[in-house]
Amino acid sequence: MIAIEHLVKTYGAFTAVDGVTLTVAPGEIHGFLGPNGAGKTTTLRIIAGLLQPTSGRVVVNGHDVAGDPEAAKSSLGFIPDRPYLYEKLTAGEFLRFHGGLFGVDGAGIADRVREMLELFELSKWEDELVESLSHGMKQRLVMGAAFLHRPRAVVVDEPMVGLDPRGARLIKDVFRRMSERGVSILMSTHTLEVAEEMSHRISIIHRGRIVAQGTVDDVRRLAGGQDEHLTAVFLRLTGGSGLQEIDEVL
Ligand SMILES: Nc1ncnc2c1ncn2[C@@H]1O[C@H](COP(=O)(O)OP(=O)(O)OP(=O)(O)O)[C@@H](O)[C@H]1O
Ligand SMILES: [Mg+2]
């Protein structure tokens, strides 16, 4: 369960997140959509406890992120948009290191690392340095690290960027299975097809505010475009861009 109430984040006079309220129920995949600069990453980093909100509250699996950050973080898997990996560790070492941070150690860790390497199709890269992995392999390694400690909630910023079709399919299947087991997943994405295919509910954020929330069909209805492609709905709700302007410049 992830619950955000009236979240605000300001930078000086600029308000990046402006009163966001959103819940992700157990087993729900929630798509978090919005134009560049809308406030998605800022919101996700606050949930992960990496950024202090100006005001508002975040509760992860019953733990207040401000009041009990350790408990909140230990029940959360966070996959940032630009993860930092230790390039000089091997893939296996990276996973074991991550497991240690989350208290997965002792006898359980070797099995768990092997499971993650197998799941994310990285077994033959176990002893290779992270720096020698391709972008998509690194992306899958980061997912393995984030899921190693069996989090009950997952926050993921742009999971599909740079994955090949097989990798994207794998990640979708993993998210679906996790959701079937009751994990709450909040996922930002610019790929509206992915959002539509995967999400039980979506939130569209624009200039720090939620402009639409609900099932994809709810959002379509709200925007008055029942049979419309989600892209058209998205553009209408977030200001869009006109071909006219493009023509003027070209
Ligand atoms: N440290 C900071 N100082 C000042 N402004 C910031 C800072 N971090 C983010 N912002 C601003 O907050 C706004 C929201 O940024 P954020 O990264 O959350 O957007 P986003 O929705 O993730 O966009 P994208 O789709 O491009 O990833 C942007 O206008 C950004 O410039
Ligand atoms: Mg972002």
Q: Are residues 195 and 224 in the same domain?
A: yes
Ligand nearest to the CA of 50: 1
Last residue of a domain, one of 150, 183, 203: 150
| Pairwise CA distance, residues 225 & 165, whole Å | 30
pLDDT band for 248, please (50, 70, 90 cuts).
Answer: confident
Give the 3-state DSSP-derived string for the chain, with helices as H, strands as E and coil as C.
CEEEEEEEEEECCEEEEEEEEEEECCCCEEEEECCCCCCHHHHHHHHCCCCCCCEEEEEECCEECCCCHHHHHHCEEEECCCCCCCCCCEHHHHHHHHHHHCCCCCHHHHHHHHHHHHHCCCHHHCCCEHHHCCHHHHHHHHHHHHHCCCCCEEEEECCCCCCCHHHHHHHHHHHHHHHHCCCEEEEECCCHHHHHHHCCEEEEEECCEEEEEECHHHHHHHCCCCCCCHHHHHHHHCCCCCHHHHHHHC
**Rounded to whole angstroms, what are the CA distances from 240 to 153, 201, 210, 235?**
32, 22, 16, 4
Ligand 1 atom with minimal separation from the 17 CA: 14
pLDDT band for 92, please (50, 70, 90 cuts).
Answer: very high
Q: What is the CATH number of the domain that holds 48?
A: 3.40.50.300
Last residue of a domain, one of 132, 150, 168: 150
162-203 residue pLDDT tens: 899 999 999 999 999 999 999 999 999 999 999 999 999 999
Q: Of all protein residues, whose CA lies closest to atom 7 belonging to ligand 1?
A: 11
Q: Are residues 183 and 133 in the same domain?
A: no
Q: How far is the CA of 90 from the centre of ligand 2 (A)?
A: 28
Residue 47 has pLDDT above 90, yes or no: yes
Encoding tokens for residue 59? 């509760």
12-42 residue pLDDT tens: 999 999 999 999 999 999 999 999 999 999 9
Q: Are residues 69 and 179 in the same domain?
A: yes
**What pLDDT, on a 0 to 100 scale, did the predictor assign at position 225?**
73
Q: Are residues 161 and 225 in the same domain?
A: yes
Q: 9, 10, 32, 41: which to mutate for ligand 1, most atoms within 8 A of CB?
A: 41
Domain that holds residue 223: 2-75+152-249
pLDDT band for 212, please (50, 70, 90 cuts).
Answer: very high
Residue 216 has pLDDT above 70, yes or no: yes
| Pairwise CA distance, residues 245 & 250, whole Å | 9
Residue 247 has pLDDT above 80, yes or no: no
For ligand 1, say whether the CB of 38 is within 6 Å of any of its atoms.
yes
**What pLDDT, on a 0 to 100 scale, did the predictor assign at position 246?**
72
Residue 241 has pLDDT above 70, yes or no: no
| Contact call for residues 240 and 49 (beta carbons, < 8 A) | no
For ligand 1, say whether the CB of 208 is within 6 Å of any of its atoms.
no
Q: What average pLDDT does the structure give for the chain?
A: 93
**What pLDDT, on a 0 to 100 scale, did the predictor assign at position 1?**
97
| Contact call for residues 203 and 213 (beta carbons, < 8 A) | yes
For ligand 1, say whether the CB of 34 is within 6 Å of any of its atoms.
yes
Give the pLDDT mean for 217-240.
85
pLDDT band for 10, please (50, 70, 90 cuts).
Answer: very high
For ligand 1, say whether the CB of 238 is within 6 Å of any of its atoms.
no
For ligand 1, say whether the CB of 206 is within 6 Å of any of its atoms.
no
Ligand nearest to the CA of 80: 2
Q: Are residues 113 and 69 in the same domain?
A: no
Q: How far is the CA of 37 from the centre of ligand 2 (A)?
A: 7
Encoding tokens for residue 186? 């909040």
Q: How far is the CA of 42 from the centre of ligand 1 (A)?
A: 6
Q: Are residues 176 and 206 in the same domain?
A: yes
Q: Are residues 145 and 164 in the same domain?
A: no
- How many other C-beta atoms lie within 10 A of the C-beta of residue 248? 8
| Domain count across the chain | 2
Last residue of a domain, one of 129, 150, 171: 150
Give the pLDDT mean for 100-117.
89
- Identify which has the larger pLDDT, 220 or 227: 220
Q: How far is the CA of 80 from the centre of ligand 2 (A)?
A: 9
Q: Are residues 146 and 194 in the same domain?
A: no
Q: How far is the CA of 103 from the centre of ligand 2 (A)?
A: 29
Residue 83 has pLDDT above 90, yes or no: no
Residue 227 has pLDDT above 90, yes or no: no
Residue 141 has pLDDT above 90, yes or no: yes
| Contact call for residues 11 and 39 (beta carbons, < 8 A) | no
Q: Of all protein residues, whose CA lies closest to atom 4 belonging to ligand 1?
A: 11
Residue 242 has pLDDT above 70, yes or no: no
Q: Are residues 138 and 235 in the same domain?
A: no
